[in-house]
Amino acid sequence: MRSSDRSGLAVMVSIILATFTVVPLTRDLSFLGVSWALIISIGVATIGLRRAGLGAGAVLGTQIGLLAAFVAALAGSIPGTADTWYGHFVSLWRSGVEHMQTQASPMAPDEGVKLIFVTVIGAIAVLTDWLVSGLGRPAWAIAPPAAMFAVPAIGTTTDTGVLSFACIALGYLAILVAEGLNSTTRWTRGLSADSAEGYGTATPVVWRAATYIGVPALVLTAILGMALPTLSLPGVGFGSGPGGNGPLQLSDPTLDLRRNLNQPVDREVIQYTTDSPGGVYLRMASLPQLSSNGFGNMQMNLDRGTELGQIPGVSSEPGRRRTTNISVADFGAEYLPLPYAARSFQARGEWAYDSNSLVVVANGRGNRLNAIRRLDYTVQSVDIEPNAKDLVTALVGTPADAAVTSLVPRDLPESLVKLTRDITDDADTPALKAAAIQAYLRSPRFTYTVKSQPGSGYRALENFLLGDQEGYCEQFAGAMAMMARVVGIPSRVAVGFLPGKRDGKTWKVSIRDMHAWPELYFAGYGWVRFEPTPASVAGAAPSYSTQTQGDASDDPSADPSSGASDAAPSTAPSVPADSTEAPTSADDGAAFPWVRTLVGTGGGLLALLVLAAPATIRMRRRSSRLSDTASAEERVESAWAEIRDSVVDYGGDWPQGSPRAIGSEIVHRLEAEQGDTMTQVATLVERSRYARTFTDTQTLSELPGMTEEIRRGLAEPRSFWRKTAAVLLPRSLFRKPPKV
């Protein structure tokens, strides 16, 4: 087998193994077969071309061409509506990206995602082959598959799995071993058979070298694997996987809801006491912006202070203020959970509020995600409980942010608009239309389940309203808010907690009480809460929200008659409810600086880990070289190799020639004392290589110290930056192995 065949095969094996790492991301595994076919066809073509003696550029060009042709063929095989082939391709790609952004892993099958996966895998195969054979830097081949590994490691909260690490590590080892065997071949080539005896068995050295890199890499990968899934990076696209064990927190209201609802253990996160008889909804965030991705954040205008401004849209503030004492357990977020409408609050730390939504967010320095963790605070609020009779006749108002909260996107699917019209046809006033929508959603035709797909994008809403009719609070709230807009009522989705379970005077809220609900705006009443989520979860709907057409004329008291909303009248929801979440993507970083903070922190941490990898490998290699387990000759050779790598690390060249010649060359770069040590080591190497017997236990025991001394001597005259670079990015790791 030629050496280029070996490298090519190793790259194929490595990338095929690496494809398994993205398996946790999707339920559709058909991409595996396709990408393997791509990898193999590229690999076979590469081997053939290298055998034919083509240059690296020609090979790379062919590989890229092959990749492009394959991807184009794959895209062509997927049905689509676009006129042009590139339009088709772009639309597939876009839908894939959107799919990834709106779905939690494992994702439902999607052709666009498949196309993206296959393209990326093919590109990684080409890149890896280029690193290994084109550039002759097999040690770098870890980078592309590791990048592939990082995606599920960061994106999913499920266990990325020891198997994934093993796949990457095994593939990398394959490349290293192939390269090692190639070097062995180079060494023995050209020697006659008898004289080559004793030289051709360099394979153990190869294995050892592979171990030097492979083991630390494996360990590091394991550490990475443990550390990374706890980071939730909003905007990466792969949001909350089901049932993680990560810290309880709300970092991004659009992503964390479902994850928290799926917590395997229902932990208590908030306790409060209140003089409100039915408990209070604790509201954290508000999502006013509707787009194809669902409801999302928009930029907030923050004011500082603990006295919140006027309640939006409320003409006469109710006189009665309720006081609620809240204490948060181990739950992190930068939003302060408050009853609506809060008037003032007393909490330690720096806070700011948004006058449109009355959302209070942390405004201090440091990790804002911990702003509410173990926080005790008090809040004064008023209840927005319109009189049902008055509300029926209320007009639709125009909130300050009407441009956002009244907007019906032009690309809203017609089917949704039509459904809304059908439901609300019979209702005359805005409040009745809202009640009809709520009643429709609370009817038994909808099933509550947290296992469904997340999001409130068009696709998710269509699936929820017209498809399987399964969803959780995010879909219920999103659907109602969307439909309210269609009929002209400004709406938004609030994210927070259900009132929880009463225990004496205290209310206890658990993580599964997380909830999303719609708020609709009526003139004179401001933002009014509705509850489209079924009673089994969210309890009864507010009394003002359940009128029917008949009620409007006769009896304005709450009586659910249209739709199948449960009849339990306004009792406090006392069952700890599995709640649901609000969909959408965070669309404005400025509104949520913590997103940037988190991305920055996560990115920084990742960069640190990546930066630390070469140093770790290098240090591990050094310590294993200087350990005293091997035979005397091996120890001397290891020390010599260590000195060689140190010289290279600190920017020097390793001279050619015999140990003595090299030693006398290196001595010139050292101070006198270290120079003597270098001479000693060179003599030791010479003796171990060429003398009859070699047993100098005295000097051997000092060898690690001598090696260290020489290394220090090499480092001394170098600049600070050079020293840092030598530690963080040791050149010796990225050097071509010396030809022997």
Which CB sits closer to another protein, 267 or 689?
Answer: 689
In contact, 351 and 363? CB cutoff 8 Å: yes
Distance, CA of 310 to CA of 163 (rounded, Å)? 56
Which CB sits closer to another protein, 467 or 657?
Answer: 657
Which CB sits closer to another protein, 418 or 660?
Answer: 660
Which CB sits closer to another protein, 505 or 668?
Answer: 668
The amino acid at residue 63 is: Q
Alpha-carbon torsion (570, 572, 576, 582), positive or negative = positive
Which CB sits closer to another protein, 348 or 660?
Answer: 660
Residue pointed to by tokens 């009463």: 502
**DSSP letters for 40-62:** HHHHHHHHHHHHTT--HHHHHHH
Give the nearest distance from C-beta 207 to another protein in angstroms. Answer: 16
Which CB sits closer to another protein, 29 or 191?
Answer: 191
Which CB sits closer to another protein, 62 or 658?
Answer: 658
Give the nearest distance from C-beta 642 to another protein in angstroms. Answer: 15
Give the nearest distance from C-beta 633 to another protein in angstroms. Answer: 7
Give the nearest distance from C-beta 693 to another protein in angstroms. Answer: 9
Residues across the chain: 740
Which CB sits closer to another protein, 607 or 661?
Answer: 661
Which CB sits closer to another protein, 188 or 616?
Answer: 188
Which CB sits closer to another protein, 409 or 738?
Answer: 738
In contact, 732 and 645? CB cutoff 8 Å: yes
Tokens found for residue 396: 């639709």
Which CB sits closer to another protein, 366 or 657?
Answer: 657
Give the nearest distance from C-beta 689 to another protein in angstroms. Answer: 6
The amino acid at residue 59 is: V
Give the nearest distance from C-beta 114 to another protein in angstroms. Answer: 51
Residue pointed to by tokens 């700011």: 352
In contact, 429 and 392? CB cutoff 8 Å: yes
Which CB sits closer to another protein, 2 or 660?
Answer: 660
Cα within 13 Å of Cα(217), Cβ side: 26
Count of other CB atoms within 10 angstroms of residue 1 = 10
Which residues contribute to the site for another protein (CB under 8 A)?
191, 195, 198-199, 633, 637, 656-661, 686-692, 740
Give the nearest distance from C-beta 3 to another protein in angstroms. Answer: 19
Ramachandran area for residue 518 (φ above 0: left; ψ -120 to 50: alpha; else beta): beta
Angle (nearest 5°) at CA 184 between 180 and 189 = 150
Give the nearest distance from C-beta 662 to another protein in angstroms. Answer: 9
| Residues contacting residue 504 through CB under 8 Å, at least 6 positions apart | none
Give the nearest distance from C-beta 655 to another protein in angstroms. Answer: 11
438 exposed, middle or buried (CB, 10 Å; 0-12, 13-18, 19+)?
buried
Give the nearest distance from C-beta 698 to another protein in angstroms. Answer: 18
Give the nearest distance from C-beta 696 to another protein in angstroms. Answer: 13
Give the nearest distance from C-beta 91 to another protein in angstroms. Answer: 60
- DSSP run (H or E) holding 226: helix 203-227
Count of other CB atoms within 10 angstroms of residue 208 = 15
504 exposed, middle or buried (CB, 10 Å; 0-12, 13-18, 19+)?
exposed
Give the nearest distance from C-beta 195 to another protein in angstroms. Answer: 5
Which CB sits closer to another protein, 688 or 732?
Answer: 688
Q: Where are the beta strands (DSSP E) in 275-358?
A: 282-287, 289-291, 294-296, 302-304, 322-328, 332-333, 342-346, 351-354
| Residues contacting residue 308 through CB under 8 Å, at least 6 positions apart | 341, 342, 343, 344, 345, 353, 355, 358, 360
Give the nearest distance from C-beta 194 to another protein in angstroms. Answer: 10
Reduced to 3 states (helix: H, G, I; strand: E, B; else coil), residue 656 is: coil
Give the nearest distance from C-beta 731 to another protein in angstroms. Answer: 20
| Residues contacting residue 33 through CB under 8 Å, at least 6 positions apart | none
Distance, CA of 705 to CA of 355 (rounded, Å)? 67
Which CB sits closer to another protein, 36 or 654?
Answer: 654
In contact, 558 and 567? CB cutoff 8 Å: no
Give the nearest distance from C-beta 687 to another protein in angstroms. Answer: 7
Distance, CA of 322 to CA of 381 (rounded, Å)? 5
Which CB sits closer to another protein, 580 or 688?
Answer: 688
Which CB sits closer to another protein, 410 or 692?
Answer: 692
User: Three-state SS across 374-396?
Assistant: CCEEEEEECCCCCCHHHHHCCCE
Alpha-carbon torsion (632, 634, 637, 642), positive or negative = negative
Which of 70, 156, 64 has its CA nearest to residue 115? Answer: 70
